[in-house]
């Protein structure tokens, strides 16, 4: 995989998971501001977010995402069939869903590349003096 492809996939995943900020109707002065997760939970809405992403510097093809979610999100995943065993741990259910999201992003990117032959091949030519032509 190329770096551009990986960045493109990560951007698509973040876009898929991005949730609009929720604003409360009345804002009361408080000593502690609520997090987006706390706001979603208080409003009975599902919440999932990418907290961090790590890439193995020795093998750029391996990495990990750290996700955060609330109970409403888990309930939605269970209703959608992501729970395969009774009493399955939440992180297993979320991991199954996240793998499916990543698979769909990869397939969509592959299908777009196959549909547009100009995207599949990049040609470069050294023009000298530190300049490169990219087609």
Residue 2 has pLDDT above 80, yes or no: no
End-to-end CA distance of the chain: 19
- Tens of pLDDT, residue by residue over 30-46, are 568 999 999 999 999 99
- Tens of pLDDT, residue by residue over 46-80, are 999 999 999 999 998 889 999 999 999 999 999 99
Give the 3-state secondary structure percentages of the chain, helix then strand then coil, rounded to 5: 45, 20, 35
pTM: 0.61
* Number of structural domains in the chain: 1
Nearest to 83 by CA among 72, 92, 65: 92
> In angstroms, rounded to a whole number, what is the distance separating the alpha carbons of residues 52 and 13?
13
Domain span at 61: 3-134
């Amino acid at each position: 995989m190329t770096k551009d492809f990986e960045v493109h996939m990560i951007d698509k995943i973040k876009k898929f998971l991005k949730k609009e900020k929720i604003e409360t109707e009345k804002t009361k002065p408080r000593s502690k501001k609520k997090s987006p997760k706390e706001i979603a939970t208080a409003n009975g809405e599902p919440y999932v977010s990418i907290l961090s992403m790590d890439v193995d510097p020795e093998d750029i093809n391996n990495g990990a995402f750290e996700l955060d979610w609330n109970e409403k999100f888990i309930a939605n995943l269970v209703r959608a069939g992501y729970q395969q065993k009774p009493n399955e741990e939440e992180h297993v259910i979320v991991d199954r869903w996240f793998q499916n999201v990543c698979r769909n992003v990869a397939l969509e990117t592959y299908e777009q590349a196959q549909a547009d032959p100009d995207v599949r091949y990049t040609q470069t030519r050294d023009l000298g003096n530190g300049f490169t032509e990219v087609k």
